[in-house]
C-alpha cells in the first residue's frame, strides 16, 4: 500500500486525502488547526464551486450540504463607469453546470472529523521545512497543500508563469444575511438566483454570491476587489466586519447605487464572517528538494495561486485532485521521484491550470476586442450569454476565441445561428 503524506487540511489537501483513501492508499494528513479551531476562526475565503468541481466531492460522498446550499443558477454582470452608471449588462444561465458556495469553515471542519472515520491518519501540527524532512523519509510521496501558508516559500517562484510582482487587488469579503439578499429571486431584474458581478472602471469589482454557513444557514457573500489606491480601496483600516459593512454601504452607494437597497437591514452572519488583505498571485515550481535530497510536491494554491476575481482557486484544486489521484494510481509501485512530480504537474498545467491562470489574469484587465465582441453579443442574445458563463466551469473552454477576434465572431455566429435555426 502506497504511503502518502499531505500537508494542509484545506480544499486541495483534504479532497486529495479522501480521494487517495478511496483508492486504497495509506494517507497521513498534517494540518495546523483542529476541526474546532477551523469552525471558530475567521472566514478564509468565499469560494463558489461549479458543477464539475462539485462532482469530485459528490463522487467521494463528501457533499454533506448539497440539499442546504442554495444553487447559483447563473450570472448577472454589470459593467459600470467610474460614476456607477451601467454601460453594459450581460446575463447567462449555468444550466446543468450551476454551482454552490459553502463556508470553508463549515466544510473543512466537517471533513477533518470525517477523515479519521474513513481510515486516514490526522495530525494537528504546523509543519516546518525541517519537519518535511522527517515526513518525507517516512512516506512514498509527500505533497504540500498549505495554501498561502508561509511554508509555500519553500517552492521557488516560476518567473515565466507568474506575471504579478505586487497584489493586483486589495480584497475585502463578508458573509451577510438580510431580507434583500436571500431567496430565489433576490434581484428583481434577474430571472434566476444569480452570482452578481459588477466591474467598475477604475475602481475594481464587487461580487455577491448565494452562500451557506453553519452559523446562519442561507446567506450571501460579498467580495470587493479594489484596485489599490482607487476609489473602492477603503476597507483595509477597518477593525472588524461591522466597520467593513459600513464601508461597503458607502462604496455601493457611490459605485453601484441601484444595489444599495439590498443592504437594507443586512447584518454579518457572525462576528468572524469577514476577511481583508492582499497577496501576490504566484505560480511556483512544483518540486521542492530537501537538504537530504528527498523531494516534495506543491499542490493547490501552494502551486498555482490566482487572484479570486474569476472564482477559480477551489475549482482548480478540485481539477488538480482528480488529475493527481489518477496519476498516483497509474504510477503503480514505481517511485514518486522528481521527474514524476515534474511531469505530473506539467501535464496538469498544460491541460488545465495555464488556462485558469490566463483567464484570471485577463479579468484583472479591461477586456480585449474578442471578449468585447462576445459580451456585446451576449447582452443581446441569451444563448451567447449562457455559453459565456458556462465556460467558468472550465476556463479552458474560453479558448481559442478569448484571444482571437475571428474565433470570437465564429463563437457568436454559431450560437446566434443555432437560435435562428431552433
Q: Which stretch binds ligand FAD (CB under 6 A): 26-34, 185-193, 261-269, 385-393?
A: 26-34
CB of 298 to ligand FAD, least distance (A): 9
Can you read off the three cell numbers belonging to residue 408? 470570437
Residues 112-141 that bind ligand FAD (CB under 6 A): 126-127
Residue 301 contacts ligand FAD per CB under 6 A: yes
Shortest reach from residue 89's CB to ligand FAD, in Å:
21
Contact between 46 and ligand FAD per CB under 6 A:
yes
User: Does residue 368 sit in helix, strand or coil?
Assistant: coil
Query: x/- string (CB under 6 A) for ligand FAD, residues 216-235?
Result: -------x------------
b vs e for 202-236, b when ≥16 Cβ sit within 10 Å of the residue's Cβ? ebbbbbbbbbbbbbbebbbbbbbbbbeebebbbbe
Question: From CA 378, how far away is CA 90, in angstroms rounded?
Answer: 6
CB of 4 to ligand FAD, least distance (A): 15
**Number of residues located near ligand FAD, criterion CB under 6 A:** 37
Closest CA to 29 of 148, 130, 149, 144: 144
Residue 314 interacts with ligand FAD (CB under 6 A)? Answer: yes
Least Å from the CB of residue 34 to ligand FAD: 11
CA angle 247, 279, 154 (to 5 degrees): 155
75 or 377: CB nearest ligand FAD: 75
Q: Residues, the chain, total? A: 422
Compute the distance between CA of residue 403 and CA of residue 396 in angstroms, rounded to an integer.
Answer: 12
CB of 22 or CB of 131, closer to ligand FAD: 131
β-pairing, 295-298 vs 204-213, is unpaired
Q: Quote the least distance from Cβ 240 to ligand FAD, whole Å.
A: 17
311 binds ligand FAD (CB under 6 A): yes
For ligand FAD, which residue of 215, 269, 312, 356 counts as binding (CB under 6 A)?
Answer: 312
151 binds ligand FAD per the rule CB under 6 A: yes
Which ranges of 313-395 would DSSP assign to H, the alpha helix?
A: 313-330, 338-348, 354-363, 369-380, 382-390
The angle at the Cα of 314, spanning 316 to 11, to the nearest 5 degrees, equals 115
On the question of a cis peptide bond just before residue 400, with omega within 30 degrees of 0, the verdict is yes
Q: Judged by CB, which is closer to ligand FAD: 11, or 215?
A: 11
Coil, helix or strand for 208? strand
Please identify, using beta-carbon distances, which residue of 94 and 317 lies nearer to ligand FAD.
Answer: 317
Which residues lie near ligand FAD (CB under 6 A)?
A: 7-13, 30-33, 44-49, 126-127, 145-147, 149, 151, 171, 173, 223, 300-302, 308, 311-315, 317
Amino acid at each position: 500500500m502506497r504511503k502518502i503524506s499531505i500537508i494542509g487540511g484545506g480544499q486541495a489537501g483534504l479532497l486529495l486525502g479522501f480521494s487517495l483513501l478511496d483508492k486504497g492508499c495509506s494517507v497521513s494528513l498534517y494540518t495546523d488547526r483542529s476541526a474546532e479551531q477551523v469552525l471558530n476562526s475567521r472566514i478564509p475565503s468565499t469560494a463558489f464551486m461549479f458543477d464539475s468541481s462539485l462532482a469530485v466531492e459528490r463522487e467521494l460522498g463528501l457533499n454533506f450540504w448539497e440539499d442546504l446550499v442554495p444553487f447559483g443558477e447563473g450570472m448577472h454582470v454589470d459593467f459600470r463607469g467610474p460614476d456607477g452608471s451601467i454601460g453594459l449588462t450581460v446575463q447567462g444561465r449555468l444550466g446543468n453546470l450551476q454551482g454552490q458556495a459553502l463556508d470553508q469553515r463549515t466544510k473543512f471542519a466537517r471533513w477533518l472529523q470525517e477523515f479519521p472515520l474513513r481510515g486516514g491518519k490526522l495530525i494537528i501540527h504546523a509543519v516546518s521545512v525541517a519537519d518535511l524532512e522527517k515526513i518525507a523519509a517516512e512516506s512514498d510521496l509527500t505533497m504540500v497543500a498549505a495554501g498561502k501558508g508561509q511554508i509555500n516559500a519553500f517552492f521557488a517562484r516560476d518567473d515565466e508563469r507568474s506575471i504579478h510582482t505586487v497584489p493586483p487587488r486589495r480584497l475585502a469579503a463578508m458573509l451577510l444575511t438580510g431580507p434583500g439578499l436571500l431567496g430565489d429571486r433576490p434581484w428583481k431584474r434577474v430571472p434566476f438566483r444569480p452570482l452578481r458581478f459588477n466591474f467598475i472602471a477604475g475602481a475594481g469589482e464587487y461580487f455577491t454570491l448565494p452562500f451557506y454557513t453553519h452559523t446562519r444557514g442561507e446567506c450571501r457573500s460579498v467580495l470587493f476587489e479594489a484596485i489599490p489606491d482607487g476609489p473602492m480601496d477603503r476597507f483595509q483600516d477597518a477593525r472588524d466586519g461591522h466597520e467593513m459593512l459600513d464601508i461597503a454601504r458607502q462604496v455601493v452607494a457611490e459605485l453601484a447605487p441601484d444595489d444599495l437597497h439590498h443592504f437594507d437591514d443586512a447584518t454579518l452572519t457572525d462576528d468572524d464572517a469577514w476577511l481583508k488583505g492582499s497577496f501576490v498571485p504566484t505560480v511556483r515550481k512544483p518540486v521542492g528538494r530537501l537538504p537530504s535530497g528527498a523531494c516534495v510536491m506543491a499542490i493547490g494554491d501552494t502551486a498555482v495561486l490566482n487572484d479570486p476575481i474569476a472564482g477559480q482557486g477551489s475549482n482548480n484544486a478540485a481539477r488538480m485532485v482528480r488529475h493527481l489521484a489518477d496519476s498516483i494510481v497509474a504510477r503503480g509501485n514505481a517511485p514518486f521521484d522528481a521527474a514524476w512530480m515534474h511531469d505530473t504537474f506539467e501535464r496538469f498545467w498544460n491541460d488545465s491550470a495555464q488556462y485558469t491562470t490566463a483567464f484570471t489574469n485577463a479579468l484583472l484587465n479591461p477586456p480585449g476586442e474578442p471578449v468585447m465582441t462576445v459580451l456585446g453579443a451576449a447582452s443581446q442574445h441569451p444563448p451567447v450569454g449562457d455559453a459565456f458563463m458556462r465556460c467558468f466551469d472550465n476556463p479552458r473552454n474560453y479558448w481559442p476565441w478569448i484571444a482571437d477576434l475571428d474565433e470570437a465572431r465564429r463563437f457568436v455566429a454559431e450560437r446566434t445561428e443555432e437560435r435562428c435555426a431552433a
